[in-house]
Amino acid sequence: MAYVPKMLVIGRCTRCGKKLYRGDEMYECPKCGVPYCPTCYKKVYGRCPICQSPLEEH
Ligand SMILES: [Zn+2]
Ligand SMILES: [Zn+2]
């Protein structure tokens, strides 16, 4: 059996609080520097709900 390393949590989605792991699809606001999950990225139409800047994919 292969050893499965513990996934590294890099943060939580600013909007829904979902845990974001390294290697996962995630988005970040370049102005606020806060992360968003792909679900929230769609729900806010790619714009930061705090400052309305377009989110960048990471
Ligand atoms: Zn979210
Ligand atoms: Zn922002």
CA–CA distance, 54 with 41 (Å, rounded to integer) = 10
Residue 31 lies in a domain: yes
pLDDT of residue 4: 62
Cα angle, residue 57 at apex, residues 49 and 48 outer, rounded to 5°: 5
Could you tell me the CA-to-CA distances from 24 to 28, 49, 52 in Å, in that order?
12, 21, 23
Q: Is residue 3 part of a domain?
A: no
pLDDT of residue 1: 62
Query: What is the three-class DSSP state of 43?
Result: helix
Q: Residue 20 is part of which domain span? A: 9-57
Residue 48, SS3?
A: coil
The whole-model pTM stands at 0.84
> How many domains, the chain?
1
So what's the pLDDT on residue 56? 97
- Give 35 Cα–ligand 2 centroid separation in angstroms: 9
Return residues with CB closer than 5 A to ligand 2 (ion): 29, 31-32, 48, 50-51, 53
Ligand 1 centroid from CA 52, angstroms: 16
pLDDT at 2 over 90: no
CATH of the domain at 25: 3.30.40
3-state secondary structure of 14: coil
